[in-house]
Amino acid sequence: MDTSQNTALLRALTELPGPLPARGVIHIAIRHTDRFTVVGNDLAQHPGLSTTAVGFAVRIQSLPQGTEVGIKALAARFSEGEKLIAAALRELETHGYLQRARTRLPNGRIVTRTVFCNQPAALLRPRAAATPPQLPPAARPIAPPALMPEPTVEPEASPEPEPEPTPDPVATPDPPAPLAAPPQAAAPPFVRLVPPPTAPKPPRPPLPRPRELTPELERISTALLSDLRHHAPQFTLSEEHVRELVPGVAAWLERDAHPDTIRHTLTINAPEPVNYPYQFVKHRLTVLLPPPLPGAHDLTPPPARRNPVTPFQTCDGCERAFRAPTPGHCRDCRTEDEQRATAA
């Protein structure tokens, strides 16, 4: 039994103008009149998105406003699993097509709001501020054309009547000037939230250097950098790179950092592979530089401030203990002495 063919498709193929390609895809484009979604080639042919992510982007773009597009909602509507849907949504977030944020409703409930943009690259381009439309200048009134005087026949001479008094001319008001259009408020200027990819980057901090590069520090630093490839083969440095990085390692040694500590800091949690070991080691030597060790006087606690305490004294008269800065009599004995002196 022969394979059934779509005769309508073959008929439409014969109606295409021009020569058809011998291989590859052939498009039969029929214009949509309803229920269609415009998808740009930047999404359909995105080199960094998987086919699943592109498919879900088209699905989300075709949905009306307010439709739930969470992982659970998409898994309930389509045959893909939740893990595949979550991975596709993460890809769209990474490339700027999708953004998810948690918001709190007036009733206290927290919901996830999803924002989809069909052209994230267009958000980075500056937008020109809207200028108010220029109104055409007011049309000036055109004076009516002067009429040619008609030829009149001179009548016969007759006695001229007495001229009647003519009324005073009345001033006619000028025509009102056309009203000017109210000024339109200018659109707010476009504020760039994300720096453009061509924005100048801040300069990198320089490689740290010791106060004095002694021969001993230079020898230990050179040996440590040359020995890195024995602990991690991806950290194979050239002789020129070793000479350039020696001051940075010497600055660590000058701050009493142990060589094993320096080696561990430079090679721990390194990416696979390290494409530029010189830049990687230079970055870690600069960014992770430890502070200098404090001196002995820095670690000594400040003397505690104590309130002066008045010492105890023994009264010379009654031998009672009392507080006074100097020896002598207590208050009762002094009072008795004053009373006897007064009575005498």
pLDDT tens readout for residues 273-286: 888 999 999 999 99
pLDDT tens track for 4-24: 556 777 677 666 777 777 777
Q: First vs last Cα of the chain: how many Å apart?
A: 152
C-alpha–C-alpha distance, residues 55 and 79, integer Å = 13
Give the CA angle between residues 142, 144, 148 to the nearest 5°: 150
Residue 1: predicted pLDDT = 46
Q: Position 171: which residue type?
A: A
pTM of the model: 0.35
What are the two backbone dihedrals, phi and then psi, of residue 8, each rounded to the nearest 5 degrees?
Answer: -65, -40
Residue 189: predicted pLDDT = 67
Question: What is the arithmetic mean of pLDDT over 299-315?
Answer: 79
**Region of poorest pLDDT, from 6-15, 36-45, 172-181:** 172-181
C-alpha–C-alpha distance, residues 335 and 342, integer Å = 11
Residue 123: predicted pLDDT = 76
Given a cut of 70, whether residue 332 has pLDDT beyond it is yes
* More confident position, 37 or 3: 37
In percent, the amount of the chain with pLDDT more than 90 equals 19
Residue 43: predicted pLDDT = 85
> Taking a C-beta distance cutoff of 8 angstroms, is the pair 271, 281 a contact?
no
Using alpha carbons, select from 249, 247, 228 the residue that is nearest to residue 237. 228
Residue 295: predicted pLDDT = 76
pLDDT tens track for 119-174: 887 777 766 555 555 555 554 555 555 545 554 445 444 555 555 555 555 555 55
Residue 133: predicted pLDDT = 54
**Element (DSSP H or E) covering residue 100:** strand 98-104
CA distances from 195 to 120, 125, 167, 304 (A): 13, 10, 79, 53
H-state helical runs in 81-234: 82-94, 215-226, 228-231
Residue 153: predicted pLDDT = 46
111 three-class SS? strand
pLDDT tens track for 204-259: 889 999 999 999 999 999 999 999 998 888 899 999 999 999 999 999 999 999 99
pLDDT tens track for 79-129: 888 899 999 999 988 888 888 888 888 888 888 788 888 888 777 776 655
C-alpha–C-alpha distance, residues 63 and 154, integer Å = 90
* More confident position, 29 or 287: 287
Both tokens of 71, joined, read 């992982």
Size of the chain, expressed as the number of residues it contains:
344
Given a cut of 70, whether residue 186 has pLDDT beyond it is no
C-alpha–C-alpha distance, residues 61 and 97, integer Å = 10
